[in-house]
Structure 1
Amino acid sequence: MTVLSRQTPLWLYALTLAAFAVQTDDFIIIGVLPDLAADLQVSEGAAGQLVTVYSLVYALTAPLWALLLSRVDRKQALLGALGVFGAANFAVPFVDSFPVLMGLRVVAALGAAVVLPASLAAATSAAPPERRGRYLATVMTGLTGAVLIGVPVGTYLGGALGWEATFVFAGALGTAALLLIWVKVPHTPRPGTAPGIRVLLRPLQQRAVFLILLVTAVTVAGNLAFQTYLAPFLGGLASVTGTGLALLLVLSGAGGIAGTRFAGRIVDRHGPLRALWSGGGLFCAGMAAFCALWVVRPVPVVLVALLLVCWSAAAWAVPPAIQALMIDRVGPEGATQAMALHSSSAYVGAALGGALGGTLVGLDAGLLPLTAALLVGLALGLVGFTVRGDRISSDREPRAEGSEVR
């Protein structure tokens, strides 16, 4: 795929919609857990394992799919994966037992584990060098948009039409992405000689790549430890509940979209390290402010809203920077495998963050922002260690004139 126009191509929006669909499907269950559990006669705790299973299957299979599908045209891989993803969700209304539903979640996760890494790899491989950060950021807005739009809409449909409608909605999103990709995304050249597994894994076994994956997991763990238990934290900080919480979540989602887009521009103009330092530093500052406010609670909701927007913008500014840093290290030929490993490490971090946050909120919700800041600060320290030890900044491909890594 070659992009000559400076305008955003339609195929990039198709990839963004695919990311939107799989991210919505990941989180959408949370809003219908009580009804789902009651209908299938299981506890809410057991029903919550649907989310855990989805994340674990994704984390374990994304790198494997990247290897198995290395010789497959990315467009064909995306079409096949989205077809499986949609079918698994459309089958939910015909389910009458929890084990069968769990099986369908496994199937949906297997499809999602192909979709997101392939979409990110396709975007970065087809982007002009001077716009790669913005192309990655565009696909990432599908993830933030899922939090801002997909999850609330799916939750509303589940409440109005039954919890099964939530899954049908996710399937419809996947089908829409499939059709748009089929029409707009060009085929990629099929490699003449299939690389062996050792060749595919060689760039991903570099010490710098391992550290970048570790940075991803630690950063996501810090953010998710805070985000997963945002409701009890805000309830204790400013007595936020119900409609007020929903409005704050929408505002934070908007901040996340803005942060993602801004990070893409920083990556293109100044390199991924500058974007990562900026986003991570702002995140830690926001968490420090939340810690201070917890001491003097209750505080005005307006102040909380402003901090939430800053937090979300900073949190979502980090992924495009880490992804670009990874691609700089492995090169275009390892993009699919790198994005698969990156996605897996992010899901591992999400699971760790959720578990850690669950322990902390039982002790004192004020520990959540403190822990988040410490973990992201640790991740930034690992980035510095990686740059010094492996000279990532000096190994970068030449950028457009006027761009540099700092």
Structure 2
Amino acid sequence: MRLLTRSPTGGLRLAALALTAFTLQTDDFVIVGVLPSIARGLSVGEAAAGQLVTVFSVICAVVAPVAAVATASWPRRRLLLAGMALFCAANLAVPLASSYGALMGLRVLAALAAAVVLPAVFATTAALAPPGRQGRDLATVMAGLTGAVVAGVPSGTWIGAAFGWRAPFVAGGLLGVAALVFLRVAVPDVPSPPAAGVAERLRPLARPGLLFVLLAAVVAVLGNLLFQTYLGPFLADAAGVGATGLGGLLLLAGAAGIAGARFSGTLVDRIGPARTFALAISAFTIAMAGLALFWTVRPAHVALVVMPLVLWSAAAWAVPPPVQARALAFAGDEAAPQALALVSSSVYLGAALGAGLGGWLLDTFGSGTLPVAAALCAFTALAFSALAGRAVPDPVHRLSTDARKAKV
């Protein structure tokens, strides 16, 4: 059941949901910045410490769709509050973890909470969005994920350097408490769907259109992450960018990513998610072509790589809003949480595959192959998206158009 008008607390509601997404995403990646300190503090190798990130991502990818089905009939608000309470407890207990096993156990609990909460955040956002604003509302909450990369992870790294490796987890727990209170105050409940069996809940997920959308998401994220993961080596080879310059470029790229996600949400509501996805992928491909070109004339001046780098980040972060909107449309309201959980799993799967493939390409053929391979993945994602459109016409565009006509 969808609310048809924006409540007076609509802005606060979106801010609460975006803060929740920001908190969960920061917690996933903040370990990267304090990895050596964790390894030294727990007397383990850095490879073992890195498994804390891997386990978190794998649990989120595997558990999210299962949890979405199991909790489909639960009230969304109660699910959000309970999940965030578990997340806060897992992070605030980190100072008590004196062994690697204990820390791993707490990370598993935090990952389980994130696997439940993050799809519910986007499902709640979509359910409470007024007609014609679903794309923009999803993009607003998506900005929380982008902000985690731009500000959350660097801030966590600084906190870890200043106060020890346990401090970023405590900070994450306190931020989670703030998000929990904000959710309780600003987010109304979403009516639970009618009771249904597991088979009935899963039936919408078998629609061909949704399958092709998920495949497009996996391949698009794979292409992005095989480049993004090894951005440092690529820029060092192409333009001689060092650690200091890389930090500035990442900050600029992050700001472009936030703008790209917001603009993408607006386009979803105006021209539909299929066309928005095609535009984002086209821009991504152009950016990869430019970066590949500059690699061939290396060393290129760093100013030359700024524009394609900004375009890459804006295009990459413009992909999630249309993917989410199309998944919701193909699955229908009755399976919205499950569909968004599958989108979340697709992102984690694409990220894992992209990091692995990118590492192999870098070691085997050099960094110049990364943008070329990313562009090929983008073409493949566009093909899957077109197949989704052939399976079922773009329903979100039709709904957005009808909503605009209703206002005339």
Question: Where on the TM-score scale, by shorter chain, does this alignment land: which range?
Answer: over 0.9
Distance in 2, matches of 1:78 and 1:5, equals 21
Alignment of 1:74-85 (within 5 A): 74-85=76-87
Amino acid in the other structure paired with 1:22: L
Unaligned runs of 5+ in 1: none
* 8 A contact 1:82–1:111 mirrored in 2: yes
Distance in 1, matches of 2:202 and 2:374, equals 32
Alignment of 1:381-400 (within 5 A): 381-388=383-390, 390-393=391-394, 398-400=399-401
Q: 1:71 to 1:64 in 2, by over 3 A?
A: same
Between 1:103-112 and 1:234-243, the stretch displaced more is: 234-243
Partner of 2:50: 48
* 2:117 is the counterpart of 1:115: yes
Distance in 2, matches of 1:385 and 1:340, equals 21
* 8 A contact 2:277–2:322 mirrored in 1: yes
Q: 1:20 aligns with which of 4, 13, 22?
A: 22
Offset at residue 354 of structure 1 (A): 0.8
* 8 A contact 2:132–2:403 mirrored in 1: no
* 8 A contact 2:137–2:265 mirrored in 1: yes
Partner of 1:219: 220
* 8 A contact 1:3–1:9 mirrored in 2: no
Offset at residue 401 of structure 1 (A): 4.7
Alignment of 1:160-175 (within 5 A): 160-175=162-177
Distance in 2, matches of 1:280 and 1:143, equals 20
Offset at residue 237 of structure 1 (A): 1.4
* 2:319 is the counterpart of 1:318: yes
Deviations 1:328-359 (CA, angstroms, capped at 9, x unpaired): 11122211111011101110111111111111
Task: Number of aligned residue pairs: give it.
Answer: 402
Amino acid in the other structure paired with 2:208: R
Alignment of 1:5-404 (within 5 A): 5=6, 8-191=10-193, 193-363=194-364, 364-388=366-390, 390-393=391-394, 398-401=399-402
Amino acid in the other structure paired with 1:232: P
Unaligned runs of 5+ in 2: none
Distance in 1, matches of 2:131 and 2:206, equals 25
SS at match of 2:74: coil
Offset at residue 12 of structure 1 (A): 1.2
Q: 1:394 to 1:242 in 2, by over 3 A?
A: closer
Distance in 2, matches of 1:228 and 1:69, equals 34
SS at match of 1:398: helix
Deviations 1:46-101 (CA, angstroms, capped at 9, x unpaired): 11111110010001100111111112111110001011111111111111111211
Distance in 2, matches of 1:279 and 1:403, equals 24
Offset at residue 6 of structure 1 (A): 8.7
* 8 A contact 1:264–1:320 mirrored in 2: yes
Identity %: 50
Between 1:106-115 and 1:96-105, the stretch displaced more is: 96-105
Amino acid in the other structure paired with 1:381: A
* 8 A contact 2:14–2:141 mirrored in 1: yes
Deviations 1:226-256 (CA, angstroms, capped at 9, x unpaired): 1111111111111212221111111100000
* 8 A contact 2:295–2:368 mirrored in 1: yes
Amino acid in the other structure paired with 1:92: V
CA RMSD of superposed structures (Å): 1.7
Normalised by the length of structure 2, the TM-score is 0.95
SS at match of 2:319: helix
Amino acid in the other structure paired with 1:158: G
Distance in 1, matches of 2:46 and 2:148, equals 23
Amino acid in the other structure paired with 1:11: R
Between 1:296-305 and 1:1-10, the stretch displaced more is: 1-10
Distance in 2, matches of 1:314 and 1:284, equals 9
SS at match of 2:108: helix
* 8 A contact 2:329–2:395 mirrored in 1: no
Offset at residue 396 of structure 1 (A): 6.1
Distance in 2, matches of 1:106 and 1:314, equals 32
SS at match of 1:140: helix
Deviations 1:267-291 (CA, angstroms, capped at 9, x unpaired): 0011001110110000011011111
Distance in 2, matches of 1:105 and 1:391, equals 40
Between 1:77-86 and 1:241-250, the stretch displaced more is: 241-250
Distance in 2, matches of 1:104 and 1:289, equals 43
Distance in 1, matches of 2:316 and 2:196, equals 36
Offset at residue 379 of structure 1 (A): 0.6
Distance in 2, matches of 1:265 and 1:163, equals 40
Distance in 2, matches of 1:172 and 1:354, equals 31
* 8 A contact 1:271–1:403 mirrored in 2: no
SS at match of 1:42: coil
Deviations 1:149-171 (CA, angstroms, capped at 9, x unpaired): 10110011011111111111221
Offset at residue 403 of structure 1 (A): 6.3
Offset at residue 399 of structure 1 (A): 2.4
Distance in 2, matches of 1:279 and 1:245, equals 24
Distance in 2, matches of 1:234 and 1:395, equals 39
SS at match of 2:3: coil
SS at match of 1:129: coil
